Amino acid sequence: MTYLAQTLYLARKLKTFGRVSVGVDCGALSAPARGSVSTSDGTTLYQAVATYTCDTGEGYIVSGTATRSCLADANWSGQAPTCQG
């Protein structure tokens, strides 16, 4: 492979990598009624993990999956849970 061909190949790889992860923002999540949501790194960017909690002092528990991940397609995994009491 020539130097130019190698450079073009690597450029395509970097472009693909950038399109998949760099700058991907899944957007803010809404907290459930009687609960809260926070992310692992304080952002809503690719690979952030959101954790939902409920007001346990008032007897509420998470119904559904308590964590969601920001995916490469700019969507959050799964469905938002609710707080049941």
pLDDT digits (tens, 9 = 90+) for 20-66: 467 899 999 999 999 999 999 999 999 999 999 999 998 999 999 99
CA atoms within 13 A on the CB side of 34: 14
Q: Report CA-CA distances (Å) from 15 to 20, 47, 54, 59.
A: 9, 19, 41, 49
H helices of the chain, in order, are: 3-20
For the entire predicted model, the pTM comes to 0.73
Domain 24-84: give its CATH code. 2.10.70.10
State how far the alpha carbon of 7 is from the alpha carbons of 1, 20, 22, in Å. Answer: 10, 20, 21
Integer-rounded Cα Rg, in Å, for the chain is 19
